A = this chain, B = another copy of it.
C-alpha cells in the first residue's frame, strides 16, 4: 500500500535524505557503518527508489521507443528481441508504438515520444512516409533517432538495414547457376523500398538468357494465384519471392501443383517455417535479431554523444 521514500528512511534513521541517497549509492563520503545501516533498513522495508524521480532530475527517461508499421511482418518479433536484449543490458526499457502504416499515426507517435522526453527512437517508417520532415521536432528536442528496416535515405539520421540489392544479387547468381530457363520473380507492393531494391538487385544480375517474368503481389493470395497460373503454363519454372509472405503463396501453389517437389525457389525468409515445408528453398536469412541489435547499439551511441553521429549500417546477409 505504502511505498517508502528516501525521506521515510531518513526519518526512521534520523539522518538527512541526502545521507540516505548517498548511502544507497555507496558514496565514499558516507561511513561504512552508516551505509550498511541504511542499506539494511532499505532491504527490510523492501524500499525501491523511484527510478523516474531520479531520471527526472537527470533529465533522462531511460526509455527508447520502437515505432513500426505492424508487428507481425514476419521478422519483426526478432527485431524487437534484438533491440530489447541489447538495451536492457544498458538499463533502458523499450516502448512499442504501432503506426499501422499510416503517416498520421507515425506523426502522432513521434509527438507522444517528444511529450514523454524519450531518450531515443528506433523508427521503421510507414509505407505512406515519403519524407522525414516530421522528425525535425525530435532534433530540436535532442531526441536521437535511428531508422531501421524500412528506411528513407537521409544524411540526417543513422540507418540500419540489410543490403537489399546485394542480397537480391546473390539470389540471381544462384539461379544463374541452376538448370532452369524460366523464372518468375514476385515482389511485394510496388512502393516499398524493399520491393524496389530487391527488384533492382535481382534484375541487374539475372542472366539475360533466362526468361524473367515479374509480378507485384499485394499479399500471399495474389502471389499464390499468380504462381499457380505460371506453374500451369510451365511446370519447369523457378521462383524468386522477396518476403516470407510472398513465398508462402508460391510454396502453396507448388505444393498443390507440383508433385515432383523439385521446383527451385529462392527469396528472403526468416527461415522459421518455409524451408521446413519446401526443401528446395534457398533463402536470404533476414536476420531481425542482428538488425535490432545493431540499431540498438547505434541509438546508444547517439544518446551518449552530444552531436549524434550519423552512420549507415548495412547488415551483411547470405544465402542459405
Contact = CB atoms under 8 A, between A and B. Distances in A.
A53 B51 contact: no
A56 to B, nearest CB: 6
A61 B77 CA distance: 26
Contacts of A52: 52, 56, 61, 116-117
Interface in A62-94: 70-72, 76-78, 80-81, 84-85, 93-94
Given A46-B137, A52-B56, A251-B277, 14 more contacts: A1-B140, A3-B117, A46-B140, A48-B111, A48-B141, A52-B116, A70-B81, A81-B98, A84-B96, A84-B98, A94-B96, A248-B273, A248-B277, A255-B255
Interface string A35-52: 000000000001011111
B95 A276 contact: no
Contacts of A11: none
Nearest to A136: B46
Nearest to A54: B115
A1 B142 contact: yes
A112 interface: yes
B277 A277 contact: yes
A114 interface: yes
Contacts of A111: 48
